[in-house]
Structure 1
Amino acid sequence: MARPTRKSAASTKPLLKPPVRIGKLDAAAAISELRKLHEDAEDEEVGLMAADNELFQALLYLESHAGALKDEEARRRAAVQRVKLWEYLREQADIHQAKAIEHARAAGAEWTELVPALAVKSPSAAYNKATRLRAGVLTDHSRGDRPVRRTPEAVLEAERQAALRAAEERRAQRQAARRHGLLAPVAQRLIEHRADLDDEEDVSFWLDQIAAVLPTCQTPTQLVSLETYVEAVVRALKKLERTTARPAASTADAQLAFAAAAELVAR
């Protein structure tokens, strides 16, 4: 009987099983709680313990003075918390070592120079280890920003996706800037000539909104709001012209401002 053909793994498979990580943790608060256990146990040397924000040194003290905790429950709680904090420290070390490698490469360091620093035997091994370390600063955006699996394939795929997202964000920002360059002058002309536009309630309300957002219109959200208000003014003015059978603007300049806004909205 012929053996079944093994299906090849999907190229994105390394991204599908991200490791479990400690992630965000208030390490200083955790150390403070452990210090309190030692104080309650009347540890005579607790004054020598490092500060709460000196995680590595504080953990070394807690390890060497674990016997000061006489209560079995306190010893168990403290040991489990130390396990967690060491794991957290390991994660942080990966993140900062990855940054150091990035800085070294930016400064011209070759992979051969990083071989002993990364405790590996070849430049290719140094490259692969550095790639895996970068997983500590990456997340898989497609799966709710979960950590990326520590394989070169997963890291490179995550970086590719991040580059695509960054490029799309830059494109959207450029489009928003171009749109703002067209929209802001049109909105400003409406405000300048508002006295010559029909002061019907809806028109006045939307012109007030334009006047409020226009001076500080910089963010994408503000730009969307400004565009919405200009569109609303145009709709209100057109509705007035249909229902009253008269121009919504009383001067030529105001009519030109209205026409420019209507043309922009129609694009």
Structure 2
Amino acid sequence: MARRSRRSTPPTKPLVKHPLRIGKMDAAAAVGELRQLHEDAGDPNVERMPADDEPYGALLYAEKHSNSLRQLPPERQKAAALKRVLLWQYLLERAEIHQARAVNDARVAGAEWRELAPALAVKAPNAAYNKAKRLQAAALTDDGPGTEPVRRTPEAVVETEQRFIRQKEAERRAQEAAQQRHHLLLPVASRLLQHRDGLVPDEDADYWLDEVSEVLSNCSTPTQVVSLSRYLSAAVRALSNAASRLAQPAATTDEARLALSAAAAMATQQTVHP
């Protein structure tokens, strides 16, 4: 029987089995726990242990002075050693992320891949490029909360970077569209208030129009703009309900009718594009 050949995994295919990682943790708190163990053991040099926000130096100290923990019960000695293992793993993972950012800064500053090769401990420019992309996979995963781990191949990293660029561009276009709608919102709301006397009297509509007037007098922050949009939409709904209830048009003059029509269109637009 012919032996079935093993199919190669596409380099950009998402990971099926996610690698185990420490990820984000409170390293300072872990160093503090390690320091406490040394204090409990009566370590005479514990005051020389670097601060909690210096995990690398603290780990070097804990390694050098590990014998001082022999005064502790075996379980607590084991806990200290495991804490060191955990912190070293954390630093290894963070080192990849920060090295990737350093490589990016070097490239922005004009460094060529042949210049980065020795610093990345590889021999050729293409090897430096590939290693940098593998490092970037860790940085991309770290920078995107809730995102799936990126496969450590240059192809997967490039694809992820391009997806992030597309997402940012879509966000930028959405923000520009929202800003444009906000610029239109202010004159539309102002025009409706100018022709308020030409609108059908209604208690609910009057309440919301008063709210529109209050916000419109000082509408500069994003929160105020959102409030203005909501109040304007509520006023339009109240006027529409009043017109149906009274069986008469919501606007009694041509100017008010045009102003209400523009406000209704703006309210519809805000609903379609939150």
Q: Could you say whether these structures have the same fold, taking a TM-score greater than 0.5 normalized by the shorter chain as the test?
A: yes
Match of 1:56 in 2: 56
**Could you tell which deviates more after superposition, 226-235 or 2-11?**
2-11
- Unaligned 5+ segments in structure 2 are 270-274
- Is 1:127 aligned to residue 129 of structure 2? yes
What pairs up with 1:22-37 in 2 under 5 angstroms?
Answer: 22-37=22-37
Aligned counterpart in structure 2 of residue 165 of structure 1, from 164, 167, 177: 167
CA gap of 1:170–1:243, structure 2 versus 1, over 3 A, is same
* Match status 1:154 vs 2:121: no
* Residue in 1 that maps onto 2:177: 175
User: Does the 8 A contact of 1:191 with 1:207 survive in 2?
Assistant: yes
What are the superposed Cα offsets for residues 229-267 of structure 1, whole Å, 9 maximum, x if unpaired? Answer: 433322321332333244544666444422321344466
Stretches of 4+ aligned residues off by more than 6 angstroms: 140-143
The aligned counterpart of 2:272 is none
Question: Is the CA contact (8 Å cut-off) linking 1:115 and 1:126 kept in structure 2?
Answer: yes
Contact 1:14 1:151 in 2 (8 A): no
Q: Which residue of 2 aligns with 1:110?
A: 112
**Which residue number in structure 1 is paired with residue 140 of structure 2?**
138
Query: Contact 1:14/1:153 (CA < 8 Å) preserved in 2?
Result: no
Question: What whole-Å deviation, never above 9, does each CA across 1:71-128 have from its counterpart, x for those lacking one?
Answer: 2111100111111111111122111111111111111111011111111110011001
TM-score (norm 2): 0.83
Give distance in 2, aligned partners of 1:8 and 1:54.
43
Q: How does 1:13-24 map to 2 (within 5 A)?
A: 13-24=13-24
Give the number of equivalent residue pairs: 266
Which structure 1 segments of 5+ residues have no match?
none
Q: TM-score, normalised by structure 1?
A: 0.85
- Sort the Cα spacing of 1:140 and 1:107 in 2 relative to 1 into closer, same or farther, 3 A: closer
* Aligned-residue identity in percent: 54
Q: Give me the whole-angstrom Cα distance separating, in 2, the residues matched to 1:59 and 1:109.
A: 33
Residue 86 of structure 1 is matched in structure 2 by 88
Q: Deviations over 1:197-242 (max 9, x none)?
A: 44523213332443465544654x8766544443332232133233
Structure 2 match to 1:261: 263
User: How many Å separate the matches in 2 of 1:96 and 1:141?
Assistant: 11
Residues 199 and 16 of structure 1, relative CA distance in 2, 3 Å threshold: farther
Deviations 1:153-203 (A, max 9, x none): 332222122122112211211221222222222122234444654452321
CA RMSD of aligned residues (A): 2.9
